[in-house]
Amino acid sequence: MIPIKEKTSRIMIVDRSEVARSIISHILQKEMNNTYIVTCGSTEEAMEHLQREKFDLITTSLLLPGLDGLDLCHEIRKSAKQHLTPVIIVSSDADRRLLREGFSAGVTDYFNKSLGYKRLVEFIKDVSQRHSGMVGKILYVEDSLSTAQTTQHLMERHGLYITHVTSGEEALQLLKDSNHSEEFDIVFSDFFLEGQMTGGDLLYAIRTQLHYSRQEMPVLVITIEDNKKCQTEIFHAGANDFVTKPVKEEILIARVKSLLLIKHQHKVIKRYSKDIYNLETLDDLTRVHNKKFLLKQGKNFINQQKNICLMMIDIDHFEKIDETQGHLIGDHILHLFGQFLINFFTEKTLIARFAGKKFTILIPCILEKGKEIAEKFRQKVIQLKPEEFNITVSIGITSSEGQAETTLANLLSNADSALHSAQQQGYNRSCVCTVQKNVANI
């Protein structure tokens, strides 16, 4: 066994499950054999270790006996010894409390436990490397080939991935290219480049043309002038930080590490925002939009279209499946039906779970096209057979044609009338309702 003092990374794993702690610890030792690992079953036990030892990374379950993972994170951030230590929250799902309170509690990142322990260990390795300043992709802009060669080699020795270009124009084109812009974590540029575009011009273009914030695309500048006037000019142009020539390795790597952490935190916040948005707008079971989203965004969606059709889709006799097979089977069928809706309709369509087994579809098209789509969908559902059950749907459809002013409320009312008519006529059929509420079979 490697003595503790020789181990380069110290990781704490906090999980109420002894089995989970054992599995994660075992895989970590195999994948990161120079790592010292401590496992704890509660926040209280973890705090005892934290008072005695310093760790490089802490991973904790959200749910713990007594104080939970967010409480532990709060305590870590109050600690003089550990307040900068990366903390990963491990949860079976990114619930509302984690997403709303996690970042303010000081959570560095979170991981969905359902992805498995091996993926968790890969995630821990990635976060650990990032916070050691060892992982990052740099767009390096330097027109002096001798300087570029030396500095690039220096950065690559620290595990950084470098793309070197010699002009601001070339760098800007790479950043404009959507296939390449996401590849870079930092732009590192000489401030006084030869040619039409100086480093200052490149900085200005990054901030004003591409609209990258300092967090979204950190920029480190290299300059030969170390005076207040030049520093002010660099920061006004949009730089996060600067180093001066000749470059000192420890200073450059410290600056790069700091900017990589800024970029990483920006990515985490972006993910938090996206997940919170999904929690607020998507139905948990079916993964289509929820009724709240439909009522909030439906009006804007309608106003942006020249012609609009609305379908109200109801799964026929679904209550019998729930009664005879139980809610678990029923919920799984609804989940599969939601995925079928997403796959069948185009991205230009707004799909929402209206209530229970009833779904609403807004489609930008004329009525005749909408009727054709509705019938095609109804026929496809017959072939679906989720969980080996035969299901059918009844569909009510209406459109904006002939209406002086189209409102979501009117479309919903008309489609619901048509759906009711389809069900009265024996289910498994589509009916259309015109503006005057004349209902007819398709």
Mean pLDDT in residue range 103-115:
81
- Per-residue pLDDT band for 2 (boundaries 50, 70, 90) equals very low
Mean pLDDT in residue range 359-363:
97
Helix (H, G, I), strand (E, B) or coil at 206: helix
Q: Exposed, middle or buried, 359 (CB in 10 Å: 0-12/13-18/19+)?
A: buried
Q: How far apart are CA 77 and CA 87, in angstroms?
A: 10
Q: Determine if residue 88 is left, alpha or beta; phi over 0 gives left, psi from -120 to 50 gives alpha, anything else beta.
A: beta
Domains of the chain: 4-131 (3.40.50.2300), 137-271 (3.40.50.2300), 291-441 (3.30.70.270)
- Per-residue pLDDT band for 262 (boundaries 50, 70, 90) equals confident
Q: How far apart are CA 87 and CA 73, in angstroms?
A: 7
As given in the structure block, the two tokens for residue 346 are: 């185009």
pLDDT, position 433 = 87
The H or E element that residue 170 is part of is helix 168-176
Q: How far apart are CA 330 and CA 387, in angstroms?
A: 9
pLDDT in tens, 370-415: 999 999 999 999 999 988 899 999 999 999 987 767 899 999 999 9
Q: pLDDT over 70 for what percent of the chain?
A: 91
Mean pLDDT in residue range 67-73:
90
Mean pLDDT in residue range 152-163:
90
Mean pLDDT taken over the chain? 87
As given in the structure block, the two tokens for residue 187 are: 């732009």
Mean pLDDT in residue range 30-59:
91
Q: Which range, 72-81, 124-133, 148-157, is most confident?
A: 148-157
Neighbours of 317 (CB within 10 A): 14
Phi and psi dihedrals of 407, rounded to 5? -120, 155
Lowest-confidence region among 8-17, 105-114, 115-124, 135-144: 105-114
pLDDT in tens, 82-94: 887 889 998 876 5
> What is the distance of C-alpha 343 from the center of its chain?
21
